[in-house]
């Protein structure tokens, strides 16, 4: 949609496309989402999935022709609409045997690096998520070694006995990233179309992550059987961005488009509570600890700001039989090339939160890691439509590039295949579209400083069936 225009989705891609409107339009798009995950962790494959109702682009366009026939400005249109940019509804699962590391080691590392005693850590709310839980449930304790007293995880003793650990991770999530936009597009001499919009991203994510680590065979010492960490997190956020675009028609058949999207400034609120249950057998029995215990009985809540990357889009379309009477048009082919500068993502303390040197240092380190890990990526989208009187058929493909640096072994990307049928007659239109996406990514269940980190390869297959109803008047 970067150079086509004349569709409400132009508002979210290139608002100059609104300038092609000469009438009003109302659109609603219900649909269904089908999630299937095929994940691989340390050579073990696992499948999971979820089906949910979803809502696509909905809104209205208020267009009108130019005021006078002699005016160079041939009309314009306002639009207010909402769409969903990302759907977080999913059930993801993976498991595998690990004879190399334990998730308890991350907490032993943090306890050791703190230079604090166990009591001091338990009384410090900065360790409420993870390390205090591990110490309170005796997943991690101090042991006498040749180098002196040392923090160690009980599962490490099993690894030393060549007993592998069965590790399992489940993520149940819901919510999404939606966007409300208000935009305007205008036509100049029916050759140049310009437009802009203000967008307001809205984030809501509610996830429960469960990580379980257990002995693959009984511990000869009877000191460790299993440990489970359950993380509950709710993320809410609101933001704003600006998008500007233009479409130029060298002749009736060719359209060229350009759109620039500013970084979004999004204010985020994270609420989180964790619970750990560890069965240490004869060592300390079955122990349970919650993060609220170390936070005065309250769930943790933190506010911060996120700056998303800027984006640039160039596009070209060729129209078949591009006459003014849309009933005589025969279709088009189109292509978009989009660049997203992922290293531009950054996190900052929320305004009004005061000067917190520890928080600022954390954000500085996080932003530095983003710049080292990520790179800019190109997304390519190609499609076409064939019009047969009042019926239409269309198909397309989108290729989304790997955002990770070439120097890493992390591979990611996304391919979207879509096809649809449409009907248009007497100002009424109905479109049925099916989009099938294949997305590859990686997931680290935990991170260690002194070992290579293990990760799962994620393969998400998502189908979206959308039915659009529209009325021109």
Low-confidence stretches of the chain (pLDDT beneath 50)? none
CA distance 53 to 34: 9
**DSSP conformation class of 40:** E
Q: Give me the pLDDT at residue 361, please.
A: 87
Q: Give me the pLDDT at residue 354, please.
A: 58
CA distance 290 to 157: 25
> Is 208 a member of any domain?
yes
Nearest to 372 by CA among 340, 403, 413: 403
CA distance 184 to 171: 40
Q: Give me the pLDDT at residue 65, please.
A: 81
Number of separate domains in the chain:
1
What CATH number should be reported for the domain holding residue 301? 2.40.160.60
Q: Give me the pLDDT at residue 358, please.
A: 76
Cβ-based neighbours of 168, under 8 Å, separated by 6 or more:
93, 94, 95, 210, 211, 212, 213
* pLDDT per position as a tens digit, 227-238: 999 999 999 999
* pLDDT per position as a tens digit, 282-330: 999 999 999 999 998 877 888 999 999 999 999 999 998 876 666 667 8
Is 226 within 8 Å of 203 (Cβ atoms)?
no
> Is 3 a member of any domain?
no
Cβ-based neighbours of 416, under 8 Å, separated by 6 or more:
396, 397, 398, 400, 435, 436, 437, 438
> Is 259 a member of any domain?
yes
CA distance 266 to 240: 7
Secondary structure (3-state) at 293: helix
* pLDDT per position as a tens digit, 298-311: 778 889 999 999 99
CA distance 432 to 75: 30
Secondary structure (3-state) at 459: strand
Strand-pairing partners, residue 1, are none
Domain containing residue 274: 8-472
pTM of the predicted model as reported, rounded to 2 decimal places: 0.84
CA distance 77 to 21: 6
- Specify burial of residue 61 (Cβ count, 10 A radius: 0-12, 13-18, 19+): buried
> Is 150 a member of any domain?
yes
């Amino acid at each position: 949609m970067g150079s086509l225009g004349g569709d409400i989705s132009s508002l979210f891609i290139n608002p100059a496309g609104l300038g092609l409107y000469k009438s009003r339009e109302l659109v609603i798009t219900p649909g269904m989402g089908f999630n299937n995950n095929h994940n691989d962790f340390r050579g073990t494959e696992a499948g999971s999935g979820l089906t949910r109702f979803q809502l696509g682009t909905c809104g209205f366009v208020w267009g009108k022709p130019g005021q006078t026939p002699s005016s160079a400005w041939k009309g314009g249109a306002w639009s207010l609409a909402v769409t969903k940019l990302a759907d977080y509804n999913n059930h993801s699962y993976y498991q595998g045997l690990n004879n190399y590391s334990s998730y308890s080691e991350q907490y032993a590392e943090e306890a050791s690096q703190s230079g604090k005693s166990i009591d001091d850590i338990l009384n410090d709310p900065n360790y409420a998520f993870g390390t205090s839980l591990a110490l309170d449930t005796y997943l991690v304790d101090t042991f006498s070694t040749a180098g002196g007293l040392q923090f160690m995880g009980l599962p490490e003793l099993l690894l030393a006995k060549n007993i592998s650990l069965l590790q399992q991770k489940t993520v149940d999530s819901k919510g999404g990233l939606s966007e409300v936009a208000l935009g305007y597009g205008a036509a100049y001499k029916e050759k140049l179309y310009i437009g802009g919009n203000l967008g307001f991203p809205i984030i809501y994510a509610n996830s429960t992550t469960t990580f379980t680590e257990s002995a693959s065979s009984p511990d000869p010492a009877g000191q460790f059987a299993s440990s489970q960490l359950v993380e509950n997190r709710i993320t809410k956020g609101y933001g704003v961005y600006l998008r500007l675009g233009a479409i130029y028609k060298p002749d009736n058949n060719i359209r060229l488009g350009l759109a620039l999207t500013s970084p979004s400034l999004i204010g985020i609120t994270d609420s989180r509570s964790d619970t750990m249950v560890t069965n240490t057998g004869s060592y300390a029995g079955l122990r349970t600890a919650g993060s609220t215990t170390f936070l005065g009985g309250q769930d943790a809540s933190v506010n911060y700001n996120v700056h998303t990357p800027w984006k640039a889009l160039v596009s070209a379309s060729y129209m078949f039989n591009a006459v003014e009477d849309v009933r005589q048009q025969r279709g088009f082919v189109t292509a978009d090339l989009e660049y997203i500068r992922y290293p531009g993502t950054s996190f900052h303390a929320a305004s009004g939160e005061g000067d917190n040197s520890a928080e600022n240092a954390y954000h500085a380190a996080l932003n530095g890691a983003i710049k080292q890990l990520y790179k800019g990526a190109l997304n390519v989208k190609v499609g076409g439509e064939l019009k047969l009187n009042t019926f239409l058929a269309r198909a397309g493909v989108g290729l989304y590039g790997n955002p990770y640096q070439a120097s890493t072994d992390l591979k990611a990307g996304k391919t979207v295949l879509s096809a649809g049928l449409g009907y248009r007659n007497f100002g009424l239109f109905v479109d049925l579209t099916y989009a099938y996406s294949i997305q590859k990514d990686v997931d680290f269940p935990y991170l260690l400083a002194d070992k290579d980190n293990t990760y799962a390869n994620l393969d998400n297959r998502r189908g979206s069936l959308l039915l659009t109803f529209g009325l021109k008047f």
